[in-house]
Amino acid sequence: MGFCLRVRCCVSTGFFLKVSCMPPVSPELISPRSPRVSAARRLAKRNFRGKERLFLAEGPQAVREAGGRADTLVELFATLDAAERYADIIGRARDIGARVHLASEQVIADISTTVTPQGLVGICRFLDTPFEEILAARPKLVAVLAHVRDPGNAGTVLRCADAAGAEAVVLTDASVDLYNPKAVRASVGSLFHLPVAVGVPVERAVAGLKDAGVRILAADGAGTDDLDDELDNSTMGGPTAWVFGNEAWGLPEETRALADAVVRVPIHGKAESLNLATAAAVCLYASARAQRASGGCRSVTGS
């Protein structure tokens, strides 16, 4: 649904006044003390997110992706400027039954967890998938985040998994909250694209995936196996789950022991190491490339 501007002349003053033609939405929320604003603000805290099973999605990309998934976006706050700029997002939100509120910039700033809000903040239902459903789908490529504590890294790995064509992501019970606002932002909408299981003990995750016929590879800078050798030996073409560990200390020995192989990304230059998200991208794309090789070596970046 589009928006228009019409010009109206004020006879008494001779001035022209621009009036926005907006679709019917909720009244403007002027005060940050509004009950709706207070409820949204609380979702920045994990305990309130868990209690309400709701989380914040900020910015046009996240809100657009949330609106494309059934029964996910339940409420949307937008400044007048953002409502006009992203009329398609507002129209989609209203079409799926989400409550749309026009809000002042002060209200958006009060709800948002970013330094420079983009004028749109959505409230979404939790969308994690039961681990059993992921196993039943017989996934071919999975990212398992074990002991990952930084929300930005978690969201970025999720984005990498989505880009590489992974069919699921699993966050263990020792990892960060999937719905942390920083994790949601770092996923850049990928959170809404693929199944994600949360709170799964790493032992259960590995055992379940093995029973589903998935080979477990632990990514570790001190791994005994080299990623290049794995590719050269054509051992990565089957269903694979990569286990990624903590940003600072990697994977504990008991977790590495659960894997079928512990693989390091080779460092050909002088860099001391790779950060978690970069290593995850390299590993996931290597598996994606190997899995597509038997089907004609189609590039994972191609169409």
d(CA 221, CA 218): 10
**DSSP string for 197-230:** EEEE-HHHHHHHHHHTTPEEEEE-TT-SEEHHHH
CATH number of 24-125: 3.30.1330.30
Question: With bands split at pLDDT 50, 70 and 90, how would you rate the model's confidence at 299?
Answer: very low
Q: How does pLDDT run across 183-199, given as a tens digit for each residue?
A: 999 999 999 999 999 99
Single-letter amino acid code for the residue at 46: R
Q: Are 280 and 244 in contact (CB under 8 A)?
A: yes
d(CA 281, CA 283): 6
Residues 6+ apart with CB under 8 A from 61: 188, 189
Give the start-to-end residue ranges of the domains of the chain: 24-125, 131-293
Dihedral angle of Cα 267, 270, 276, 281, to the nearest 10 degrees: -50
Question: pTM of the predicted model, to two decimals?
Answer: 0.84
CATH assignment of 131-293, among 2.60.40.420, 3.40.50.2300, 3.40.1280.10, 3.30.950.10: 3.40.1280.10
* Nearest alpha carbon to residue 124 among 84, 182, 64, 167: 64
Question: With bands split at pLDDT 50, 70 and 90, how would you rate the model's confidence at 280?
Answer: very high
pLDDT at 25 over 80: no
Q: How does pLDDT run across 222-261, given as a tens digit for each residue?
A: 899 999 999 999 899 999 999 999 888 889 999 999 999 9
